[in-house]
Amino acid sequence: MASHRKARPSGTRVAGIRTPALATAALTSVALLSQTANAAPSAEPRPSIEEVSKKVDDLYHQAETATDKYNATREKTAQQRKRVDTLLDDVARRTDKLNTAREELGSFAAAQYRTGAAAPDTATLLLADNPQDYFDQTQLMNRLTTRQKAAVDDYITEQAATTKKRTEATESLETLTASQKALKTSKAAVQQKLTEARDLLSKLNAEEKARLAAIEKKKQEQAAAKAAELARQQAAAEKAAQQQSSSGTASGSSGSSSGSTSGSTSGSTSTDSSKAAQALTFARAQIGKPYVWGATGPDSYDCSGLTQAAWKAAGVSLPRVTYDQVNAGTTVSLADARPGDLVFFYDDISHVGLYIGDGMMIHAPKPGAYVREESIYYDGTSAIHSVVRPG
């Protein structure tokens, strides 16, 4: 006899509940999707230490470029603020003088009122926006005494001058406001680049930080080797020049004239060397102080702040920012560089150091670092822009 029991439906039992085959397939799909989702974060490859090193260097370079723009804008803003203050003081003085002239005209009006002479005209004058329109009336001018005419002329002249100064002050205030806005933008750009660099470095583990330090050490060793080669070449060139000088002969008046010129040149060179030595003495005393963007000492410096302060100690005034300092002296070849010369870096002239000889310099390198001695090849030969001798 055939069984009347219904066939059990195919499927699985989950928590005591029968599920059809279709539901089972759906659950399997969900599980696969979940696994795929969990694996998604590894889609973007982690940058290599070399890439991180280059990125950090680029960010610091961008921060230094933004710092120079900030410094230039801050200096310009300070000058504009000084001009605005001067103009506002001038406007205040002229306004006082204008009020005095108005009071004098008022006394004339009162006197004329007591005598019954031309009081309405003078009173209208004092209330007028443009008194000149009233003084153009011949009949009124004819009634004024010499003293009154002089007071009127003073009033008109002072009113015109005061109006002009007020306009200048307003325009200068608008320029100052624009500069302050640019200053804020420049500051934000510096902070953004520094934050990006710090974020990159903070994501490195101990092993990666060690590898990054090894990369930096290798860069310094390569730079030191290039500096030593430059020193060798300079020493060889100086020795050759001395040999050529000692083998040469001079005669008669030519020798006397040459000696006189040489003495004059020697005296000038000696003075320049003395100033350079003072600048270097100051710079060496700053070694170990932190780099701080926008700083000019005495507790911290940025690159151009250090070179400016060093040469100021030698009695030489340099502009504040690198792309002005590069024009504050005589450009010389790298082979002719002498201690105290300024070495500029990068196409945008965004960094500067003080040359000390043998391919080395003193500079304020970058955020997070300290004033130190370092090879001028710290970022490769191509990074060197020019050498300038202040004076």
- Rounded Cα distance between 18 and 20, Å, is 7
4 is catalytic: no
In sequence order, the β-bridge partners of residue 387 are: 332, 343
What single string gives the DSSP state of each residue in 7-27? PPPSEEEETTEEEEHHHHHHH
- Our answer to whether residue 363 is catalytic in this structure is yes
> C-alpha angle with apex 363: 199 to 183, nearest 5 degrees?
60
Query: Can you give the C-alpha Rg of the chain in angstroms?
Result: 39
CA 337 to chain centre: 26
Structure tokens at 321: 């920012």
User: Do 325 and 366 meet the contact criterion of CB atoms below 8 Å apart?
Assistant: no
Backbone phi and psi for residue 168, each to the nearest 5 degrees, phi listed first = -60, -45
| Residue 137 main-chain phi, psi, to 5 deg | -80, 115
> Which of 351, 357, 387, 388 is closest to 375 using CA atoms?
357
Tally of residues, the chain: 391
* Sequence-distant (≥ 6) Cβ neighbours of residue 369 within 8 angstroms: 290, 291
Residue 303 among the catalytic residues: yes
Angle, nearest 10°, between helix axes 206-247 and 49-115?
80
Encoded tokens for 292:
């701080």
In the structure encoding, which two tokens stand for residue 299, read together? 């507790």
Distance of alpha carbon 39 from alpha carbon 49, whole angstroms: 24
Catalytic residue positions?
303, 351, 363
